[in-house]
Structure 1
Amino acid sequence: MTRTSVIAAHTRAGVRTLTLNRPDRLNAANDELLLALTAELRAADADSAVRVVVITGAGRGFCAGQDLGDVSGRGMTFTEHLNATYNPLIRTIRGLGKPVITAVNGVAAGAGASLALSGDIRLWAQSASLIEAFSNIALVPDSGSTWFLPRLVGYHRAFEMMALAERVRADDALRLGLCEQVYPDNTFAQDVQAYAERLAARPAHALNLTKQALNAAMTGTLDQALDEEARLQQLAGDHWEHEEGVSAFKEKRPAQFMRDVNSPDH
Structure 2
Amino acid sequence: MTTILFQIENGVATLTLNRPDRLNSFNTDMHAELKDALKQVQDPANKVRCLLITGAGRGFCAGQDLSDRAVAPGNDTPDLGESIDKRYNPLIRTLRALEMPVICAVNGVAAGAGANLAFACDIVLAARSASFIQAFCKIGLVPDSGGTWTLPRLVGQARAVALSMLGDKVSAEQAEAWGMIWKCVDDDQLQAEAAKLAAQLATQPTKGLALIKRALAASSTNTLDQQLDLERDLQRLAGRTRDYQEGVAAFMEKRVPTFQGM
TM class, shorter-length: over 0.9
Instruction: Give the TM-score normalised by the residue count of structure 2.
Output: 0.94
CA distance in 2, matches of 1:97, 1:168: 30
Equivalent in the alignment of 1:59: 57
Q: What do the CA deviations read for 1:125-175 (whole angstroms, capped 9, x no partner)? A: 111100001111111111100000100100001111111111111110110
Verify: 1:108 aligned to 2:110, yes or no: yes
Cα shift at 1:226:
1.3
**What secondary structure sits across from 1:241 in the alignment?**
helix
Instruction: Give the counterpart of 2:128 among 126, 129, 138.
Output: 126
* 8 A contact 1:42–1:92 mirrored in 2: no
Work out the CA distance in 1 between the residues paired with 2:240 and 2:124: 31
Provide the residue aligned with 2:176 in structure 1: 174
AA aligned to 2:144 is: D
Q: Which residue of 2 aligns with 1:50?
A: 48
**Comparing 196-205 with 105-114, which one deviates more in the overlay?**
196-205
Deviation at 1:218, TM superposition (A): 2.4
Equivalence map 1:210-249=2 (5 Å)? 210-249=212-251
Encode CA deviations 1:202-238: one digit per residue, 9 max, x unaligned.
1111011111111222222222211111111111101
User: 2: CA distance between counterparts of 1:95 and 1:38?
Assistant: 14
Structure 2 residue aligned with 1:262? none
Matches of 2:175 and 2:9, distance apart in 1: 28
Secondary structure at the aligned position of 2:226 is classed as helix
Q: CA deviation at 1:42?
A: 2.4
1:45–1:98 contact (8 Å) kept in structure 2 = no
Q: Percent identity?
A: 49
1:76, 1:247 → 2: CA distance?
Answer: 59
* 1:9 equivalenced with 2:6 (yes/no): yes
- Residue 27 of structure 2 corresponds to residue 30 of structure 1: yes
Listed one character per residue, the Cα deviations across residues 181-214 of structure 1 (whole Å, up to 9, x for unaligned) are 2222112211110011111121111011111111
For 2:257, the aligned partner's letter is A
Distance 2:184 2:164 in 1: 23
Q: Which moved more, 1:72-81 or 1:211-220?
A: 72-81
Q: Does 1:94 align with 2:84?
A: no
Q: For structure 1, which runs of at least 5 residues remain unmatched after alignment?
A: 260-265
Residue 100 of structure 1 deviates from its aligned partner by 0.7
- Tell me the CA shift for residue 76 of structure 1: 4.3
The 2-side partners of 1:258 and 1:38 are apart by 26
**Equivalent-residue separation in structure 1 for 2:190 and 2:104 (angstroms):** 12
Quote the Cα distance in structure 1 between the aligned partners of 2:90 and 2:18: 20
Instruction: Decide whether the 8 Å contact of 2:23 with 2:62 is kept in 1.
Output: yes
Name which of 156, 159, 162 aligns with 2:158: 156
Give the root-mean-square deviation of aligned CA atoms: 1.4
User: Which residue identity does 2:65 align to in structure 1?
Assistant: D
**Partner SS state of residue 124, structure 1:** strand
Q: Please tell me the residue identity of whatever aligns with 1:153.
A: V
Aligned residue in 1 for 2:194: 192
- For the 8 Å contact 1:62–1:107, the answer to whether it is kept is yes
Q: C-alpha displacement at 1:37, in angstroms?
A: 1.1
CA distance in structure 2 between the aligned counterparts of 1:83 and 1:235, rounded to whole angstroms = 33
1:75 positional shift: 5.6
> Following the alignment from structure 1 to structure 2, what is the Cα–Cα distance between the partners of residues 226 and 42?
33
Aligned to 1:250: 252
Off by >2 Å, runs of 4+ in structure 1? 73-76
Matched residue, 1:183: 185
Q: Which moved more, 1:179-188 or 1:105-114?
A: 179-188
What's the counterpart of residue 263 of structure 1?
Answer: none
Structure 2 counterpart SS, 1:68: coil
Contact 2:243 2:260 in 1 (8 A): no
The separation in 1 between residues aligned to 2:221 and 2:37, in whole angstroms, is 27
Structure 2: which 5+ runs fail to align?
none
The alignment covers a number of residue pairs equal to 257
